[in-house]
Amino acid sequence: MHFKRINIIIFSVLALLSVPLVAMQFTSEVNWDLFDFIVMGILLFAVGLSIDFVLQKAKSLSTQLLLCGVILLLFFLVYAELAVGIFGTPFAGS
């Protein structure tokens, strides 16, 4: 049963990564290289595993929603920093 959830997470990550891959075929505004796909794949996979862990371990719905919201917020902050550098760290993509 656990392998089924991991497969769902992997296929979801691949589906999400196909969006910029397809967009690169139609516009020059999206310009990802292999490193970008690898980093985003790792981030998305980590988010998927984290949310799966929370849904398995947290008992109440309110706790699940709160923890999943925190995970998604952290993901969006890391993504924004890597994409445009909203915090100005050395990891910024701009």
pLDDT band at 94 (very low <50, low <70, confident <90, very high): low
Cα–Cα distance measured from residue 72 to residue 2, given in angstroms and rounded to the nearest whole number? 22
Alpha-carbon span 41 to 64, nearest angstrom:
24
Residues with Cβ < 8 Å from 59, sequence gap 6 or more?
none
User: Is it the case that residue 18 has pLDDT exceeding 80?
Assistant: yes
| Tens of pLDDT, residues 31-69 | 999 999 999 999 999 999 999 999 999 999 999 999 999
Domain residue extents for the chain: 2-84
Mean residue pLDDT of the chain comes to: 92
